[in-house]
Amino acid sequence: MAVVKLQNVTYKYPLTDTTALQNINLQVNEGEFVAIVGPNGAGKSTLCYTIAGFVPHFFKGELTGTVEVAGNESSKSNLHDWVLNVGLAFQNPFNQISGAKYTVYEEIAFGLENIGLPRDEMKERVGDVMTLTGISDLADRSPYSLSGGQQQRVALASILVMQPKVLVLDEPTSQMDPIGTREVFGVIRTMAEKGMTVILVEHKVEWIANFADRVIALYDGQILLEGKPQEVLTSDVLMDKGFGISRYTSVARKAKGLGLWTRDSLPVTLDEAVEGFKIG
- Judged by the rule CB under 8 A, the positions of this chain that interact with another protein are 39-41, 91, 147-149, 171, 174-180, 203, 206, 242-248, 250-251, 254-255, 258, 260, 270, 273-274, 277-278, 280
The distance of Cα 96 from the centroid of its chain, to the nearest Å, equals: 15
Nearer CB in complex with another protein: 22/174: 174
Nearer CB in complex with another protein: 3/20: 20
Nearer CB in complex with another protein: 228/247: 247
Minimum distance of another protein from residue 161's CB (angstroms): 24
Nearer CB in complex with another protein: 30/183: 183
Minimum distance of another protein from residue 8's CB (angstroms): 26
Q: How many other C-beta atoms lie within 10 A of the C-beta of residue 275?
A: 12
Helix (H, G, I), strand (E, B) or coil at 259: coil
Nearer CB in complex with another protein: 225/255: 255
- Which of 158, 113, 114, 105 lies closest to 136, judged by CA? 105
- Which of 244, 239, 248, 245 lies closest to 272, judged by CA? 248
Helix (H, G, I), strand (E, B) or coil at 203: coil
Question: Biggest alpha carbon distance in the chain?
Answer: 65
Rg (CA), the chain: 20
- Which of 131, 195, 186 lies closest to 163, judged by CA? 195
Q: Is the dihedral of CA 237, 239, 243, 246 positive or negative?
A: positive
